[in-house]
Structure 1
């Protein structure tokens, strides 16, 4: 265990216990890694809440005037800005605002935007005018410091005005900061992008929610296209894109670096006219969600968090027998799990409303992994609303789209995205999801080969980025290629497609289920576990018999052999055996299972029902929780 590990443990303990800590002691860890800084920032917030703001400002002043390294100075300025502290005058911060270090310069701008005379030392033009992120940040800073100033014009142009009056009801912000909202299945974008899109539309139809803002991120490519940061998605559903200063999309390992900037940007966007927010809802245990919790605090809004007992319940099992040395990969994995556990703990502590995934042991299991709930230091609501999927709306061009997709599928086995045309009568296995180790597409291919199913079935994998694959996606595709290299004939029976828009996937699933182009098709989700499995529900809704992992939330709605199938996905051997059994069932038996599955979705899992339940919870927590 390193000195930094010990510092992280002490800071996490202080934050969890809710005990004020000497600010001078806290800042001794300001030079540490981003995950340690997350713990420091949480302990710092606890200390400020206990009334130690004056001492904290004095400590920051002494340290900043001592000229710490640029990265540390940036972090300390962010601590000051987030806590509303003013340890430096504008003149004392002027040199940092012109720093050659990008992080220090940006933190100084954010700090100066909120203090007296800050505009007097702010540059009017970014050092590199072609740098879209920096130009937007500086414009947003100017708009914050001097509303209406000419230097803020670029920010005002990037945020399309919302109508000043929303519909009657609450204003809700929901976040999806990992992945791309409009590209489900690419990178870290999964079913959540589809869920939040449909849910945001449905919430505004409940009569309780007047406006929804879905917070997503905009990286360099998006910013380079000069698209608006605020766009309308539905009548009262808006997407707000938070600029991120990173060459790669956010992921759980990098989000800590951007936590302060994410909170600052989200606070600015939700301060726009017409965006006064009542509830902020985050759904992932990562630093981006901590930034959303901080945004809710700054706006005096209620904070909702969808909580699951992961990785809490699996950490001991995962790391029990691993050799851990301070600089080893197992040690890095353990540190990340401990960080995620701490982040989840802090999100639970900050939440006014906890939302659990229905069908598991739910709220009854939570105190085992979150003991702070048992003590109930402060009351909060815990709810388990049903999850659901948006309805499929038939379109006049669906038949042509289905024909195009099926033509692509059976374009020939010599293509990586095609199957042999003479295989159009065989049973097709479909799997849709982002290419990621937890989704286990490589295990599915291995089991498919081990079971000999490549001789009697075809396999279509959909997911992953097209031309801009992430290292994780490239690694998964490499593992699949290695498996197929041992079975050359199988290559003509497997097709791999990059992610498709959700509507195309749902049209494809209906085409496969119809039986007009191929034999009885089966949807297969090989994930290690699914918290709920929205893609499984969509396949069931399309009329496909669906199979999903026995671990996670899928058993909540699938009864094995009745309305779907449960798969042991812990190893390729047991998965192969179960797949062989399912694929060996006669067509009429599969049709019965598919029909029951479709009925299950229709009866229990609509986005409208989910929206009604959530809207009621939002209304109750706003009415009943004092901030």
Structure 2
């Protein structure tokens, strides 16, 4: 089809996701047609305010029309009043040869920062490979008159991505200038650590590393980058080394931060999974090499990043935790995109220190995956990628609800980055050595419809792997709940004592998770509070969130919750907000919801997951393993293991009335004559199917096959 016909097809596509997938056809048609007519058609579509979805597709199609007139249009779009058009024009330029009249627009976007600044910086980095002097002079020139410390730091960081003497000279000057702000100096020092290790640079960085401030911490890492070579693999190491990453969490062995900020179920999973992999008790071939070491990467400060390296570089087997360093307080995953360069450097340092890493397992469509995939290509590490329909499921849900339309897609995308994240999932799935998929009732159909992947085409490259939980934690918690020792439940009892005496005979409806709109906590509170009969049947316990220092997302959820139940007097109404708790504590609380707390909570409580989407559901599995009747989303992973009407209820969690009805049904079932029988049925099902050891065994086989295939490919390429 030609450009005109393909544009018409895209405009008539049934749904937002279908439209996004049509963009590839538009790009192909435009590149084939070329010429002024194609450019004119695409330029008109790009500025159509009534169809922002097609507008974005037209911008990217322009990037494949190799004609000066296409460049002219893209340069104009860099100055457009619509932020999403500027952003996608900057992205589109990354596939074209350098255009010098676009440099001013791109550097202005870097100064402005945010996700668009990251996109513009990536394009400048790509252009710097062929036109380093022009890009360096543009970045240097942009610094004139820019006083904002964060903006200056972004420009300095951009200079650090450009090869040559011009940026090196500027970086040394800024690093040594005490009048510069900390962020700019830190960016300069970090960039010097990535550059050539000459005597002048080493002397400067060494001097800065002698201090005791934040800049010294960055300098010590840079000095290590400059002077320490990549570690070789220990010759006696026979097992595999696997690295796994979740950047947006403060992951520790005790899982003390789970439930706060972005510290969700994935943090719990990675800790338990890493321990199970190195324990070697999964269902693996005993004659095959085992996983010898697991490296779990997450965020932290420069000092922690330096302190972790001895453990990372150790030749001993085990599960090591590594830190990707940032300056300043933690920020949410949605705000982390501008930290791409820092993330890349931190990941590269860890993987080099670890010696040979056999497999890098990535999950999520986030900046961690974006950066880590780049490092993996540099270091020739094969990648296993867990493919989930995210953001695809959210796009579909918002499309169905009417909150995401062609007319507002670009505006929403500017905040949510749907287009970029969907493309990132598509690229990762195509490039990965192996993909891992969550079980879903209609997996083949959903992967094709939502993500655009046909998993039947190359089935040897895909594995369906269910997540798992640590059953020993559950067993201890159930035993503690049955024993009812007050010492094991002091924190929970103190919280339950804030309830009015008249409500202490009621069972608990419990929900555990982050205070984020995707998790539906505010929706759950409204469903419970607005149903007078339900409110009189149970108290509602929300476990998650940093209540003392909430993030922007957490604050938004708390404000919405406060509209349903006044936060200051929430306990008086039966709502308990517990904040985040350690994973072991949460497991005991779930058991307490089933068995009750004498004089404080009745037995036969239930568990509620009100998520907008749930790819699988670690907390749901933990609740079912405890014997709680659950309420879960009727789409995604939970539908593969929740037996509707027996072990729980599958509902449309976006519908408050149905959610409330599901909770009432769950309470009826849990307290009914078959409650105990069905509770054991749920617990037995989880124990038999979803132990973390089973997941580890399956993944160990995947890692082994990927490592063996990579070794064959390397041998063939070297011969």
Instruction: State the TM-score, normalized to the length of structure 1.
Output: 0.82
Partner of 1:619: 704
What CA deviation, in whole Å up to 9, does each residue of 1:195-246 have, x standing for no partner? Answer: 00010011123452110000011148x859x965666899600000111113
2:387 to 301, 307, 311: 307
Where 1:294 maps in the other structure, the secondary structure is helix
The answer to whether structure 1 residue 352 and structure 2 residue 430 are counterparts is no
Question: Are residues 163 and 375 of structure 1, via their aligned partners in 2, closer, same or farther at CA, if it must alter by over 3 Å?
Answer: closer
The answer to whether structure 1 residue 291 and structure 2 residue 365 are counterparts is no
Partner of 2:337: 256
Give the alignment's Cα RMSD to 1 decimal: 3.9
What CA deviation, in whole Å up to 9, does each residue of 1:470-502 have, x standing for no partner? Answer: 233233233323322499797253322121111
1:62-211 matches, cutoff 5 A: 62-63=137-138, 66=141, 68=143, 70-71=152-153, 73-80=155-162, 85-86=163-164, 88=166, 90-91=168-169, 93-98=171-176, 100-121=180-201, 122-126=204-208, 129-132=211-214, 134-147=215-228, 168-181=238-251, 182=255, 183-206=257-280, 207-211=289-293
Report the alpha carbon displacement of residue 578 of structure 1 after superposing the two structures with TM. Answer: 2.5
1:582 to 666, 670, 675: 666
Report the alpha carbon displacement of residue 291 of structure 1 after superposing the two structures with TM. Answer: 1.2
Question: Are residues 352 and 98 of structure 1, via their aligned partners in 2, closer, same or farther at CA, if it must alter by over 3 Å?
Answer: farther
Report the alpha carbon displacement of residue 128 of structure 1 after superposing the two structures with TM. Answer: 10
The answer to whether structure 1 residue 605 and structure 2 residue 690 are counterparts is yes
1:549 to 619, 624, 633: 633
Moved more, 329-338 or 565-574: 329-338
Partner of 1:9: 88
Counterpart contact for 2:647–2:679, Cα < 8 Å: yes
What CA deviation, in whole Å up to 9, does each residue of 1:503-544 have, x standing for no partner? Answer: 111122223323563221111112222111100000111122
1:446-465 matches, cutoff 5 A: 446-451=526-531, 452-465=533-546
Counterpart contact for 2:634–2:650, Cα < 8 Å: yes
Question: Are residues 237 and 448 of structure 1, via their aligned partners in 2, closer, same or farther at CA, if it must alter by over 3 Å?
Answer: same
Where 1:438 maps in the other structure, the secondary structure is helix
Partner of 2:644: 560
Report the alpha carbon displacement of residue 90 of structure 1 after superposing the two structures with TM. Answer: 4.3
- d(CA) in 1 for partners of 2:196, 2:543: 54
1:32-43 matches, cutoff 5 A: 32=109, 33-40=113-120
Instruction: State the TM-score, normalized to the length of structure 2.
Output: 0.73
Question: Are residues 573 and 229 of structure 1, via their aligned partners in 2, closer, same or farther at CA, if it must alter by over 3 Å?
Answer: farther
What CA deviation, in whole Å up to 9, does each residue of 1:560-604 have, x standing for no partner? Answer: 012222132112222222322332334332223212211211121
Question: Are residues 175 and 530 of structure 1, via their aligned partners in 2, closer, same or farther at CA, if it must alter by over 3 Å?
Answer: same
Question: Are residues 458 and 375 of structure 1, via their aligned partners in 2, closer, same or farther at CA, if it must alter by over 3 Å?
Answer: closer
Point out where structure 2 has 5 or more consecutive residues left out of the alignment: 1-46, 48-79, 145-151, 281-288, 715-719
- d(CA) in 1 for partners of 2:184, 2:456: 41
Counterpart contact for 2:258–2:580, Cα < 8 Å: yes
Where 2:472 maps in the other structure, the secondary structure is coil
2:656 to 552, 572, 575: 572
Partner of 1:216: 298
Report the alpha carbon displacement of residue 65 of structure 1 after superposing the two structures with TM. Answer: 6.1
The answer to whether structure 1 residue 491 and structure 2 residue 572 are counterparts is yes
- d(CA) in 1 for partners of 2:101, 2:378: 26
Report the alpha carbon displacement of residue 362 of structure 1 after superposing the two structures with TM. Answer: 3.5
Point out where structure 1 has 5 or more consecutive residues left out of the alignment: 149-160
Report the alpha carbon displacement of residue 552 of structure 1 after superposing the two structures with TM. Answer: 2.4
- d(CA) in 2 for partners of 1:39, 1:363: 33
What CA deviation, in whole Å up to 9, does each residue of 1:24-72 have, x standing for no partner? Answer: 5775524324423444566678x68xxx94x244544454565655456
- d(CA) in 2 for partners of 1:367, 1:88: 49
Where 2:417 maps in the other structure, the secondary structure is helix
- In the comparison of the two structures, how many residue pairs are matched? 593
Report the alpha carbon displacement of residue 615 of structure 1 after superposing the two structures with TM. Answer: 1.6
Moved more, 258-267 or 443-452: 443-452
- d(CA) in 1 for partners of 2:536, 2:167: 74
- d(CA) in 2 for partners of 1:298, 1:357: 29
Counterpart contact for 2:649–2:662, Cα < 8 Å: no
Counterpart contact for 2:437–2:463, Cα < 8 Å: yes
Counterpart contact for 1:263–1:295, Cα < 8 Å: yes
Moved more, 98-107 or 179-188: 98-107
Counterpart contact for 1:208–1:616, Cα < 8 Å: no
Partner of 2:5: none
2:608 to 499, 524, 530: 524
Counterpart contact for 1:446–1:572, Cα < 8 Å: yes
What CA deviation, in whole Å up to 9, does each residue of 1:325-383 have, x standing for no partner? Answer: 99x9954655532333343344335433222222254355334455587999x999222
Counterpart contact for 1:71–1:103, Cα < 8 Å: yes
